[in-house]
């Protein structure tokens, strides 16, 4: 139950970050929505890789499973198939 | 960008993320977790649904064509449901485990099936709603 909540909250925040990045890239910078999707997916993949390495068995950070799900949930979200 | 839009995206993302966690966990437990079938099923089903919703918007418009529906369903829910970063991390893990062929297969299957699914969803919706 706690893990589901952590995933949901992480996903909600990740979705919002993606939405705001889209506004920044499309409305403010004037680039195509394809750039917004590409940027967010590449950045999300970078962050999830970084986080996985840091919190892995021989990583530098020790986090509990709920925290891990929260962060993974958030950045797993930075990855839409569609961006306005 | 309004407060309302942000709230809709947060709400959709919350339920999208929980749905993803549920579906990928369910598939993983059923089929096994050596190959990331869970994430594949999530992304392909998300592509099918987004295609169908795009078809719905195209043929019906109205409330479906508005910002409220877009922010809640497309940006929030489906953005929270589908995942590129989980796909890429799982592909990396396959490669690190020496499963290069499986890593390549995951990449080709994910991209190919998602594009096929979005087209299928779109044309199915257009035909059904015509």
State the ipTM, two decimals. Answer: 0.88
Angle between helices A65-76 and A2-22 (to 10 degrees): 30
Which one of A15, A20, A23 has the shortest CB-CB distance to B13? A15
Query: What pLDDT score was predicted for residue A75?
Result: 64
Identify which has the larger pLDDT, A72 or B1.
A72
**Which of B75, B80, B88 faces A11 most closely, judged by CB atoms?**
B80
Question: Residue B31 and residue B33: Cα distance in Å, rounded?
Answer: 7
> Across chain B, what does the average pLDDT equal?
94
Nearest residue of chain A to residue B118 (CA atoms): A81
Single out the residue of A54, A56, A55, A21 nearest to residue A39, CA to CA. Answer: A21
**Which pLDDT does position A82 carry in this prediction?**
31
Which tens digit of pLDDT belongs to each residue from B3-50?
A: 999 999 999 999 999 999 999 999 999 998 889 999 999 999 999 999
Taking residues B110-121, report their average pLDDT. 98
H, E, C per residue of B15-77: HHHHHHHHHHHHHHHHHCCCCCHHHHHHHHHHHHHHHHHHHHHHHHCHHHHCHHHHHHHHHHH
Q: Is A55 on the interface with B (CB under 8 A)?
A: no
Tens digits of residue pLDDT in B69-80: 999 999 999 999
pLDDT digits (tens, 9 = 90+) for B43-61: 999 999 999 999 999 998 8
CB count in 10 Å sphere of residue B92: 16
**What's the CA gap between A42 and A22, in Å, rounded?**
14
Q: And the tokens for A52?
A: 């996985």
Max Cα–Cα distance, chain A, nearest Å: 43
Run of H or E residues at A22: helix A2-22
Task: Return d(Cα A17, Cα A35) in angstroms, integer.
Answer: 15
Tens digits of per-residue pLDDT, A14-54? 999 999 999 999 999 999 989 999 999 999 888 888 888 88
Q: How far apart are the first and last CA of chain B?
A: 33
pLDDT digits (tens, 9 = 90+) for A1-14: 778 888 899 899 99
Q: How many angstroms separate the CA of residue B109 from the nearest CA in chain A? A: 15
CA distance A77 to B79: 6
Per-residue pLDDT, A83: 29
Share the mean pLDDT of chain A.
80
């Amino acid at each position: 139950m706690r893990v589901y909540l952590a995933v949901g909250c992480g996903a909600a925040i990740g979705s919002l970050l993606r939405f705001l990045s889209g506004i920044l890239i499309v409305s403010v910078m004037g680039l195509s929505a394809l750039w917004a999707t590409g940027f967010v997916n590449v950045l999300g993949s970078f962050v999830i890789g970084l986080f996985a390495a840091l919190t892995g068995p021989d990583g530098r950070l020790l986090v509990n499973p709920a925290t891990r799900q929260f962060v993974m949930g958030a950045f797993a979200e930075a990855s839409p198939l569609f961006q306005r | 960008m309004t407060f309302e839009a942000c709230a809709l995206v947060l709400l959709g993302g919350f339920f999208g993320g929980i749905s993803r966690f549920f579906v990928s966990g369910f598939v993983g437990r059923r089929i096994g977790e050596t190959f990331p079938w869970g994430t594949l099923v999530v992304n392909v089903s998300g592509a099918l649904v987004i295609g169908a919703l795009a078809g719905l918007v195209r043929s019906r418009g109205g409330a479906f064509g508005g910002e409220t529906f877009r922010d809640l369903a497309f940006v929030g829910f489906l953005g929270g449901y589908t995942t590129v970063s989980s796909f890429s991390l799982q592909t990396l893990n396959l490669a690190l485990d020496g499963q290069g062929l499986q890593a390549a297969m995951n990449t080709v299957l994910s991209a190919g099936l998602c594009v096929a699914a979005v087209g299928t969803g779109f044309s199915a919706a257009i035909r059904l709603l015509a």
